[in-house]
Amino acid sequence: MAEYELDAIDREILYALQEEARNLSSGEIAERTDASSSTVRKRIQRLESEGIIKRYSADIDYTKSGYPIRMLLFCTAPITDRGEYLEQTLDVPAVISVQELVTGEENLLVTAVGETDRDITPVAQELSDLGLTITDEVLVRSHEVTSFDEFSGE
């Protein structure tokens, strides 16, 4: 399958969805892109089917929702097997993300949340039980995200 090439309309759609996917209708996105509502709907469906839009999710403030501890766990897995650990790691309770790293000794970055630092200890144990070696733990004070500017037509 050939890789899907994003054009200016696709990029504007992605930028709009990153900013506020829940509150924008296809008509409102159409106004931003100078395309019709039906074109925007079809483009969104294509972006989803191509796997460019993987899912829609809420940006949760874990601190305000009662889970103020966010811990980054840098892990090492055998290089040839690190991809196999992704789904298993996401199944560990309190883990909210895992990233495969391609440079350095640490090759998986796991993010977990909890009410207290004691909530992270069982996560670390389960990761160890999976066969991962935790090489470093970092407590995160805050975490902010923004839309990727390259999708903006400006």
Q: What's residue 2's pLDDT? A: 55
List all residues 6 or more positions away from 15 whose beta carbon is below 8 Å from its beta carbon: 147, 148, 151, 152, 153
DSSP assignment of 57-76 equals -----TTTTT--EEEEEEEE
Q: Could you tell me where in the chain the CATH 3.30.70.920 domains are found?
A: 69-140
Scanning the structure block, which residue is given the tokens 């805050």?
Answer: 142
- Tens-digit pLDDT profile for residues 44-86: 999 999 999 998 888 888 998 899 999 999 999 988 888 889 9
Total length of the chain: 154
Output the average pLDDT for the chain: 90
- Give CA–CA dist 71/138, Å, rounded: 6
1 pLDDT more than 50: no
Alpha carbon distance 28, 123 (integer Å): 43
Predicted local distance difference test score (pLDDT) of residue 98 = 96
Q: Which of 78, 146, 134, 79 is nearest to 110 (CA)?
A: 134
Q: pLDDT tens digit string along 24-50? A: 899 999 998 889 999 999 999 999 999
Does position 126 have pLDDT exceeding 50, yes or no?
yes
Mean pLDDT of 122-144: 93
Q: What is the CATH number of domain 8-58?
A: 1.10.10.10
Residue ranges of the chain assigned to CATH 1.10.10.10: 8-58
List the structure tokens of 91. Answer: 């199944």
**Global pTM value:** 0.80
Q: What percent of the chain has pLDDT over 90?
A: 56
Mean pLDDT of 125-131: 95
| Cβ-based burial of 15 (10 A; exposed 0-12, middle 13-18, buried ≥19) | buried
Q: Answer whether CATH 3.30.70.920 is correct for domain 69-140.
A: yes
